[in-house]
Amino acid sequence: TSTVLNALNVSAMKDLTVIVRKPPIVAISSPSDQSSLTAVSSITVVAGVTTDHAAVQSVQFFANGNSLGFASANASGGYSLTWTHVPAGTHAITAIATDANSLVSTSAPITITIHNPVVGAGGVVNGASLANGVAVTPGSLVSIFGSDLAPSGLGAGSIPLPNELMGV
């Protein structure tokens, strides 16, 4: 209720309706924060959006401040976008949601690291001699030289040696 009082001390009252609109709340659900991914060329980024009553108009994803594009609604009620040609490196991803009232909010950023492995020229050699140009045979030990082969270094801790370390 609003009351107006004039200079003659005469008042009038009027009922008012006040509508408080809240901006949407957006959060990235996939990939998870601090993800380390190897050998990917595309990633599906997913965000959930909640609003008070207004419909979601758009959800736009960004990596390092550059637009990845607008998301599509998915079957589980979220919004997703497939990011293709993902470059190696560390990326901060955010989502911006806009509702039908033109209210906007930005998600907390998530950080992902992409490792795109590269085996050097002549980078697969006999594991014992490290001789270059000599054929390796199935079942033999090999050494692989390159970059970004795994998210971090790790040595084998026991004999027999494992067939794989950190996905390599």
Extract the tokens encoding 119: 């085996």
Mean of the pLDDT values across residues 13-19? 86
Quick one: pLDDT at residue 149?
A: 78
Asked if the model's pLDDT at residue 44 lies above 90, the reply is yes
pLDDT of residue 158: 87
Whole-structure pTM value: 0.69
Q: What is the pLDDT, as a whole number, of residue 152? A: 74
Residue 131 to residue 140: CA distance in whole angstroms: 13
* Predicted confidence (pLDDT) at residue 66 exceeds the cutoff of 90: yes
Q: Which CA distances in Å does 73 have to 45, 51, 78, 97, 99?
A: 12, 15, 6, 12, 14
Cβ atoms 54, 48 nearer than 8 A: no
In the predicted structure, residue 34 carries a pLDDT above the cut 90: yes
Going by their DSSP bridges, the two strands 72-73 and 79-84 should be labelled as antiparallel
Task: Look at residue 8 in the predicted model and tell me its pLDDT.
Answer: 85
pLDDT digits (tens, 9 = 90+) for 136-150: 888 888 888 888 777
What is the arithmetic mean of pLDDT over 31-35?
95
